[in-house]
Amino acid sequence: MPSKIYQLLDARIDKLTRSIEIRATGRVVSTSIILIAGADEMNLNRGWRFDWSQELAMQERMIFKLIITAKPRKTEGLISLENRGDHVFVHLLESAPWNVGRTKKHLGVAGNLIAFACKSSKELGYSGLVAFLSKSALIHHYTQTLGARRINNKNLMFIEEDASQLLINRYFYKNHEI
C-alpha cells in the first residue's frame, strides 16, 4: 500500500464563475463532475503536473474529474478528496494544462472543483467544512477568494459553513448539472 502523500494546494482561483467560462467569449458552459474509478477513465494527455495514478492508488481518496457536458471525453480539471469523518479534505486539485496560465481556455475550473468539495461535505452532513494544505504564497489568495481561514498549523486551511454555502450557491444553482 502506498504511503500517504500530502501536497500543498497551489491552484489559483482565477475567477469565481457559474460553472466554467470560456475565457475568449465569456460564455458559460454546462459542466459535470464525475467520480473516476480507474486510470483509463481520466483521459489525461501530456502536460499534467501531477501523477494522478498515485492518487487513484490510495483507497481512502476519491478522484473526480470536471468535464464540459457537451465534451465528456475531455477532462478540464481533477480533484482528490478524502472523507475524514467530520470534514472533507482536499489532497490535490489541478486544472488541465490548457486551463493554466495567460492563454488558458476556461476560467473557473479550480473554483468549480472547490465548490464541489464543499457540496460533498454538506451532503455528508459536515456543514460544508473543507480543509486543505496551502502553499504559503497562496494563503492570502485563498482567504480572499474562497473565504478560507487558517488553522494553527502554518499551512492548514479550512472553509467553514457560510463561505462553503456561498461557493455551493454560485456553482450549483438550479440549472447546473452534476
CATH number for 27 = 3.40.630.30
Contact, 135 vs 8, CB < 8 A?
Answer: yes
Q: What is the pLDDT of residues 96-142, one digit of tens each?
A: 999 998 899 999 898 899 999 999 999 999 999 999 998 888 888 88
Asked, for residue 37, whether it belongs to a domain, the answer is yes
Q: Count CB neighbours of 95 within 10 A.
A: 28
Give CA–CA dist 116/171, Å, rounded. Answer: 8
Task: Classify residue 165 by burial, with Cβ atoms within 10 Å: 0-12, 13-18, 19+.
Answer: middle
Domain count, the chain: 1
Task: Quote the pLDDT of residue 78.
Answer: 93
Asked, for residue 7, whether it belongs to a domain, the answer is no
**Cell 468549480 appears where?**
112
Instruction: Give the sheet arrangement for strand 20-22, strand by strand.
Output: 28-29, 20-22, 106-107
**Cell 490535490 appears where?**
92
pTM: 0.86
Asked, for residue 1, whether it belongs to a domain, the answer is no
Asked, for residue 162, whether it belongs to a domain, the answer is yes
Asked, for residue 109, whether it belongs to a domain, the answer is yes
What is the domain extent for residue 101? 20-171
